[in-house]
Structure 1
Amino acid sequence: MYDEIQNPEFVLYNDQPIRLSELLHEQKQLRDEVARQKKNQKKAIRRFEREEALKPYQAELIQMQQYLERTGTRMIILFEGRDAAGKGGTIRRVTRYMNEKHYRVVALGKPTEEQRTQWFFQKYVRECPSGGEVVLFDRSWYNRAVVEPIFGFCTQEEYEHFMIGCPGFEKDLVRQGTILVKLYFSVTKEEQARRFERRKSDPLRQWKLSEIDVQAQDRWDDFTNQKYEMLRRTNTTHAPWTIIRSNDKHQARINAMKVILNAVPYQRLDPELDFVPDHEIVISGSRELELMEAQRLQSGKFVG
């Protein structure tokens, strides 16, 4: 035993001989565990601070909702955009403290055989709000402007009918007193890929990964082209688009809330709160069109 202890491969640890390599390995594991715990603690603190930063705006959303209830005003908020752009997370933060009796989140699935024979907007009209109600569409009739033509879920004729009829449909909604907010969440190709990889490896997020998501990266340019056409033909004065740059999810959520709150003439709960959207995060539909057209002139194609 003494010879083993004198062997440089062994050291005494708690009066027992142990291989030096094993001791160093255990020490490394301990350091790694401490570092991991510190990292998780920092993440938890940062997550808590971000959720706390949303609360003043969530309180304003309650105040806004009470105004809508009191005046009988209808409100529709459309959440569109790239896959994995943060639409669902923003919807959850927007509605977290709102009165459940006076809002609905609508996420329609594939049309039934009966719905296929109906006027395209009919299934969406059924979901439109009553007086004093907010309806948040997690994807909306704009599926026909982007996803359906890319994957062949509609004919070219059906697509054209939609693009011609959509501005009139929305104008009628607004003319009859509905507040309509159209949000398009935009991420870079690299950020989308990173989020898809996280969905693949995280069992709590794997359910989010659909067949369309799998193809989103390969068909990036197709989605970009359809986005451009959608903005060009449906960004109107009565129903404009607002683009939310959502690489930073927290900033996207706060700024989306600001856009929603600014769309309703309610009495502010806290007039000192900053309601001005960040111009780096929030882009008007008209400005986005200008930026995309400039990209096409510079590089021969749209970038994002």
Structure 2
Amino acid sequence: MGKKKHYEKALEDLQIELIGLTRWLRHTGKRMLVIFEGRDAAGKGGTIKAITDKLDTRAARVVALGKPSATEETQWYFQRYVAHLPCAGELVLFDRSWYNRAVVEPAMGFCTDEQYQRFMKACPVFEKMLVDDGIILIKYWLSVDQAEQEKRFAERAADPLKRWKLSPVDVKAREKYAEMGDLRDAMIQHTHTADAPWFVADFDDQKTGRLNVIRHLLDQVPDKLTPDKEFNLPPLKGKPKKDKVTAKAERVPEVY
């Protein structure tokens, strides 16, 4: 079996298990929150897409917040994230999270040193509150070497379908690779706790990293339910009928 086929088969098997995970969440009413952090182009979006691709959209939700509004900037820092926490039976995946304040914001000058220090002190307490309330919280840092990151940036710049992924902040961050690495290490040092540990995954090979993260995520919940069993559809009554829609509606032109 070739590498691509091996990846596709492994991913399919994992996605079947992910369906079982969401069934378990619905059955038990548990709440699960997964945070994905990492350098630009590490592979956060692709991993989240692989996780949610085959899931019921009512069972899993992706949160990717943009720049805070003027009103949000006056709120308690965690306030806008609290609104997106999972409800009973729900899986929520954060594509970046409150940890913007630990790495991106201080590196780019988007927060003061006082705000940064306050966050580092408050974050472990905030996360303990979430876990104590019953939320299953899992945090991943996707690690990628600078040479591989540069290669992915070049691919994005050359591909019109991926160019939108390059933001002005991404471009500016290329000048701060070492600084952001130091901030990441300080973040993990201060916020890796027994209640909410960090898990680091090697993402120089995105497909392998993706499989490893999904496998690890599934292993955090040993009591998953299996997907729905195969069943036979009841026979159709009568002959298949052509769908006739009222002529009142406008027709989509058949261009292709």
Q: TM-score, normalised by structure 2?
A: 0.85
8 A contact 1:67–1:266 mirrored in 2: yes
Unmatched segments (≥5 aa) in structure 1: 1-44, 271-304
8 A contact 2:19–2:55 mirrored in 1: yes
Pairing of 1:1-304 with structure 2 (within 5 A): 46-267=3-224, 269=226
CA–CA distance in structure 1, aligned partners of residues 72 and 10 of structure 2: 42
User: 1 or 2 for the larger relative contact order (CA 8 Å, sep ≥6)?
Assistant: 2
Q: Please give the per-residue CA displacement for 1:46-68, whole angstroms capped at 9, x wherever unaligned.
A: 54542232011110010011001
Secondary structure of 2:30's aligned partner = coil
Question: Which one is further off, 147-156 or 208-217?
Answer: 208-217
Q: Give the structure with higher Rg (CA).
A: 1
Q: TM-score, normalised by structure 1?
A: 0.72
Q: Please give the per-residue CA displacement for 1:125-165, whole angstroms capped at 9, x wherever unaligned.
A: 00001000011000000000000001111111111111000
Secondary structure of 1:184's aligned partner = strand
Unmatched segments (≥5 aa) in structure 2: 228-256
CA–CA distance in structure 1, aligned partners of residues 9 and 46 of structure 2: 15
Shift of 1:269: 4.2
8 A contact 1:75–1:180 mirrored in 2: yes
Shift of 1:217: 2.5
C-alpha root-mean-square deviation of aligned residues, in Å? 1.4
8 A contact 1:179–1:263 mirrored in 2: no
8 A contact 1:85–1:187 mirrored in 2: yes
CA–CA distance in structure 2, aligned partners of residues 49 and 210 of structure 1: 33
Match of 1:42 in 2: none
Shift of 1:99: 1.2
CA–CA distance in structure 2, aligned partners of residues 47 and 115 of structure 1: 44
Count of aligned pairs between the two proteins: 226
CA–CA distance in structure 2, aligned partners of residues 265 and 49 of structure 1: 25
Q: Please give the per-residue CA displacement for 1:62-101, whole angstroms capped at 9, x wherever unaligned.
A: 0011001000000000010010000000000001111111
8 A contact 1:184–1:243 mirrored in 2: yes
Name the aligned partner's letter for residue 195 of structure 2: H
8 A contact 2:23–2:225 mirrored in 1: no
Query: More helix by proportion, 1 or 2?
Result: 1
Name the aligned partner's letter for residue 51 of structure 1: E
CA gap 1:267/1:113 in 2 versus in 1, 3 angstroms? closer
